[in-house]
Amino acid sequence: MTTLVKYTKQSPSRRWSWLTDPLAALIRDRFALGGLIILAIFFLIAIFAPLIATHPPFESAISDTGRLMRLQPPSADHWLGTTTFGQDVFSQFVLGFRVTLMVGVLGAIAVGVISTLFGVISGYFGGWVDDVLMRITDIALSIPTLPFAILAVGLLGPSINNIILVIVLLFWRNGARIIRSAVLTERERVYVKWARTAGASHVHIIRCHILPNVFRVIFLWVTMSVAFAVLTEASLSFIGLGDPSTTSWGQMLNTAFTSGNLRSAWWWVVPPSLALVMLISSLYLVGRAFEEHANPRLRAK
């Protein structure tokens, strides 16, 4: 992963270029733009999910004759049909946007903050802090991710909080490494050295010189972390270790799978699958544009 993030210098004189340059690159890249649009729509749906949902997600529909409406195909009342328990698929699906994006965003922000903290401290100050941190990541990187998540969630109990905790435990390590190597490059730049000899404080140097220049690396890592977090949550839920009080997409697929309806009830299976693919792919497309923009060897002349 580390080697993928190459690194170019930005002119220190253009104050906002650290933010505007990458954004401009994202908008120029058609794939990334498509990804951004999908992400925006997903966020809107997540925010307004309770208004959009037509039924309470766990309410079982009962027909006039008093029978459970199991596995109904899409109809005017149930736009995406019903589950094997007679629950409304559409409402579960729409509320799933919320759960998924919440896990993704909260997880990624926590990962981003911790990675940046460790990466900057380790890269900027070096010394024993750096040594210790690098040894820890060496070890942490040998831990198989999902098996660890399975064990941890299995032991701690399946809840959204625990899932987010596990995501943070899993993904800070790669991020810290990547950000650290970016900081290392930045630290050696002439203007950073000048600032140092001119007596600027560490905090000032980090805030004004280091952070803006490693911003794209942090942003790239946070973007990827959203994807990893969503993927981890979905996988855990699909396995059956999801938070039973929510309706995430992974969980919907798990219920469909364990109840043996994976092959027949397409209306139950296709929407969450498609949404997961669109969400994660969009994040990767945005991340890819960022990576490419940061890599001078790949940028067109």
Q: By CB under 8 A, name the binding residues for other proteins.
A: 1, 3-4, 31, 138-139, 141-152, 154-156, 227, 231, 234-235, 238-241, 253, 257, 262-264, 266, 269, 273, 276-277, 279-285, 288, 292, 295, 297-298, 300-301
State which residue, 76 or 297, has the beta carbon closest to other proteins. Answer: 297
CB of 210 to other proteins, least distance (A): 27
CB of 101 to other proteins, least distance (A): 15
Quick count: other Cβ atoms within 10 Å of Cβ 58? 13
Question: Which residues pair with residue 60 across a beta bridge?
Answer: 87
Q: Which two tokens stand for residue 129?
A: 């802090």
State which residue, 74 or 240, has the beta carbon closest to other proteins. Answer: 240
CB-based contacts of 261: which residues, under 8 Å, 6+ apart? 71, 84, 268, 269
CB of 266 to other proteins, least distance (A): 8
CB of 27 to other proteins, least distance (A): 16
State which residue, 164 or 279, has the beta carbon closest to other proteins. Answer: 279
State which residue, 3 or 65, has the beta carbon closest to other proteins. Answer: 3
CB of 235 to other proteins, least distance (A): 5
Q: Which two tokens stand for residue 245?
A: 């009080």
CB of 223 to other proteins, least distance (A): 12
User: Residue 45's Cα: distance from chain center in Å?
Assistant: 17
State which residue, 68 or 143, has the beta carbon closest to other proteins. Answer: 143
